[in-house]
Amino acid sequence: MRRLVRAIILLATIGASAGWVLTRPVHITDDEVAALTGDAAAGEAVFWAGGCASCHAAEDASGEARLILGGGQAFPSDFGTFRAPNISPDPTQGIGDWSLAQFLTAMQNGISPEGQHYYPAFPYTAYRLADRQDLADLFAFMQTLPASDQASLPHDVGFPFSIRRAVGLWNVLYLRDEFVVTSDLTEEEARGRYLSEALAHCGECHTPRGALGAVDRSRWLQGAPALTGRGTIPALTPDELDWSADEIAAYLNDGFTPTFDAAGGHMRSVIANLANLDEADRAAIAAYLGRLPPSDTAP
C-alpha cells in the first residue's frame, strides 16, 4: 500500500509537470457525433450487456427498480471508496442535460463535461472499445428511463488518489484501443468478444490486477482474488472452466452451474443483466470463452 501511495504521488507529480500535455483531457466533439442518431429500442440490449444497472441502480435492486439509475452504490478499493453517481435523465442530479458528445467522452475517454478525469472504477476502459452507434443507442434508451432526483454522493478517496489528474497518466499507461484476444475468430466468437470485452467487462472481475490496480491483460480472465478479500473469482479459460458452451450460456441465463448450484456474489447481478439478452448473444459469449488462451500463457 505504501508503495502504491508513492507511485501515485509520482504519477501525480509527473502528471503535473512533464505529462501535463500527455494527460490533457480529450473531448469528443459535437461535429464528430453529428451523424449518429440513437435508437432507444436497440439501446436496451446495450444497456443490459454493459451492466450499468449493476453499479448505478440501488444496491440489491431487482425488477423495474434496476432501471432507476440514481446511483449510490459504494465500491471499496485499495484507493478508497468510490460511489456510483446518478446517471438517470434528471437534468440537475443526473445526466439529463448532457449532449451525446459529452456522454461519449465520459464513456470512452473517461472525461467529464467539466474536463475532469473519471476514476477507472467506472469501466470506461472497456466501453472505450464499444461502437459509437451502440453507445448512441444506449444514450437514447437511458433517456426513456425514470428520472431520480437523488444527489450523487462524493467519493471517499484520500490524498494522493484524490488528484484526478493522476488518472490521466494512468490512462496513458493502461488505456488500450485493441481487444485482448486477437486470434482469428468466427463471427460468433467475435460477437462474444465484443460483448465480453467492450460491454460486459468480464475482465474487471475475472482478471488479476497489477500495479496501480490495472487489469493484467497478460493474465486475461485467468481468475482473481475476490473483491471481498477471502476466496477467488474463478478463471474462465477453457483449461480451468470445463463446462460445455451450452452449460456456460445456460448459466448466464438462469444462474445455475452444471450441477445446479446457484450463482452468488457479484456474478448474480451480471446474470440478471445478461438474462435480458438474446439467446444468441449468451451463446456468443460462451463461444468466445472457449477461445481464450489457457491460463499461464499470454493472450
What residue ranges bind other proteins (CB under 8 A)?
226, 228, 230-234, 250, 254-256, 259-265, 268-269, 271
- Left if phi > 0, otherwise alpha if psi is -120 to 50, otherwise beta: which for 23? alpha
Residue 120 C-beta-side C-alpha neighbours within 13 Å: 25
- Retrieve residue 235's grid coordinates: 478463471
Cis peptide before 113 (omega within 30 of 0): no
Closest CB to other proteins among residues 164, 219? 219
Which of ligand HEC, other proteins, none lies near 145, with the C-beta cut-off 5 to 8 A by kind?
none
Residue 272 found at the interface with ligand HEC (CB under 6 A): no
Identify which of 139, 27, 43, 47 has the alpha carbon closest to the alpha carbon of residue 94.
139
**Distance separating alpha carbons of residues 88 and 156, to the nearest angstrom:** 22
Shortest distance, position 120 Cβ to other proteins, whole Å: 22
* Touching ligand HEC, residues 118-137 (CB under 6 A): 118-119, 121-123, 127
Q: Is the dihedral of CA 128, 129, 133, 134 positive or negative?
A: negative
121 binds, among other proteins, ligand HEC, none (CB under 5 to 8 A by kind): ligand HEC
Q: Does 100 bind ligand HEC (CB under 6 A)?
A: no
* Residue 85 engages ligand HEC in binding (rule: CB under 6 A): yes
Stretch that binds ligand HEC, among 20-28, 34-42, 177-185, 260-268 (CB under 6 A): 260-268
Strand pairing category for 232-233 and 80-83: unpaired
C-alpha span between 264 and 272 (Å, rounded): 11
Q: Is 5 helix (H, G, I), strand (E, B) or coil?
A: helix
Q: Select 76 or 158, whichever has its Cβ closest to other proteins.
A: 76
Q: Closest approach of Cβ 264 to other proteins, in Å?
A: 3
Q: How far is the CB of 236 from ligand HEC (least distance, A)?
A: 5
Query: Quick one: 33 or 106, whose CB is closer to ligand HEC?
Result: 106
Residue from the set 23, 54, 108, 125 that interacts with ligand HEC by CB under 6 A: 54
Give the cell for residue 62: 431487482
Kindly tell me which of 82 and 170 has the beta carbon lying closer to ligand HEC. 82
Nearer to ligand HEC among residue 19 and residue 288 (C-beta): 288
- Number of residues interacting with ligand HEC: please give it, by CB under 6 A: 46
> Which of 116, 87, 97, 129 lies closest to 217, judged by CA?
129
* Nearer to ligand HEC among residue 12 and residue 138 (C-beta): 138
* Dist CA 150 CA 35 (whole Å): 33
